[in-house]
Amino acid sequence: MNATLPNDLLPTKVDPSDEKAVLALFEGLALSAGRAAMDIFAAGFIHETKADASPVTEADRAAERVILEGLRIALAGVTCVAEEEVAAGVVPVLEGDAILLIDPLDGTREFINRQKDFTVNIALVRNGSPEMGVVYAPARSVLYSGRSGEATEVSISRDFLPAARRKISVRSAAKPLTIVASRSHRTPETDEFIARFEGAEIVSVGSSLKFCLLASGAADLYPRFGRTMEWDTAAGDAILRAAGGMTRTTDGRPLRYGKRGQRDEADFANPWFIADASPAATDQRLR
């Protein structure tokens, strides 16, 4: 399937400093990419294994083509770092203070297993911090977006159009906490951390939806003591920060993006981190 944007949907150039226009661009491209992925989901597909042993499908590639085509027209000159291009050896030179991070289908294992937790992710990072992001879960008909202190949840119609929009924000830490964890990538270290919180409710969710549960006030902590890449987290992290939360490394520093030349680690790989919905949740985890 050679998914591309129809000519009437090709975006015009957007000023990268215009947050509303950039976020509208992200939302439109995510919806188009999600539609391409859902067409493949419905028609049936096979999956392959990449060099890093992770799975990939035609839906990953089709969604990425749609997103990159639109971004490279509308935000020409802003570097795109996209999962499948990087996997194919296309690693861009980072120029300027802004980059775009794209995961066209986060939760490919969920997609393959015909679960609904897969997402389309687009983020703008500036000076190492995620400023704007969109996470779209097409099988759940919901999209989350965030920019500069404003996060929203958007219901999506069967025609892949926005139907209703509401503002979201993190909640004060619940007692006991609700902790979200990966459905496909739990590690002993993650389980050991979770065990510190007696009585905590554990919710297993795939993909970047874990960040969105925190951002929408449905959960308090998301610990990830396992490998992730920047495109896995940037969009969800941007939404969480816009909603009032934060993602920190295990030494308490905000998670940074655009990491190259790391000692003993690949470009764009993340360290372990904990996403917090509120300072109170942070306080509880540090006791």
Residues β-bridged to residue 123: 101, 133
- Neighbouring residues of 101: CB distance < 8 A, sequence distance ≥ 6: 81, 82, 121, 122, 123, 125, 130, 230, 231, 234, 235, 257
Tokens matching residue 220: 């308090």
Among 194, 212, 214, smallest CA distance to 202 is for: 194
Among 131, 127, 129, 105, smallest CA distance to 118 is for: 105
* Residue 108, in any domain of the structure: yes
**pLDDT value at residue 23:** 96
* Residue 173, in any domain of the structure: no
Same domain? 148 vs 24: yes
pLDDT in tens, the chain (287 residues): 456 665 555 678 899 899 999 999 999 999 999 999 999 999 999 899 988 888 999 999 999 999 999 999 999 999 999 999 999 999 888 888 999 999 999 999 999 999 999 999 999 999 999 999 999 999 999 999 999 989 999 999 999 999 999 999 999 988 889 999 876 678 899 999 999 898 999 999 988 999 999 999 999 999 999 999 999 999 999 999 999 999 999 999 999 999 988 888 899 999 999 999 976 565 555 44
What pTM value is reported for the model? 0.93
* Residue 1, in any domain of the structure: no
Q: 227-260: buried (b, 16+ CB within 10 Å) or exposed (e) per residue?
A: ebbbbbbbbbbbbbbbbbbbbeeeeeeebbbbbe
Which element (helix H / strand E) includes 185? none
Supply the CATH number for residue 30's domain: 3.30.540.10
**pLDDT value at residue 173:** 85
Return binding residues for substrate. Answer: 83, 105-108, 232
Instruction: Give 183's Cβ-side CA count (13 Å radius).
Output: 19
Return binding residues. Answer: 83, 103, 105-108, 232
Return binding residues for Mg(2+). Answer: 83, 103, 105-106, 232
Q: Out of 128, 146, 168, pick the residue that ends a domain.
A: 168
* CA quadruple 110, 111, 117, 118: dihedral sign: positive
Residue 42 CB neighbour total at 10 angstroms: 8
User: Locate tokens 């998670």: which residue?
Assistant: 255
User: Range of 143's domain?
Assistant: 7-168
Describe the strand order of the beta sheet including 119-126 as a list of residue ranges.
79-82, 98-106, 119-126, 129-137, 142-147, 150-156, 162-168
Same domain? 189 vs 53: no
**pLDDT value at residue 264:** 83
Distance CA 262, CA 69 (A): 30
Same domain? 259 vs 153: no
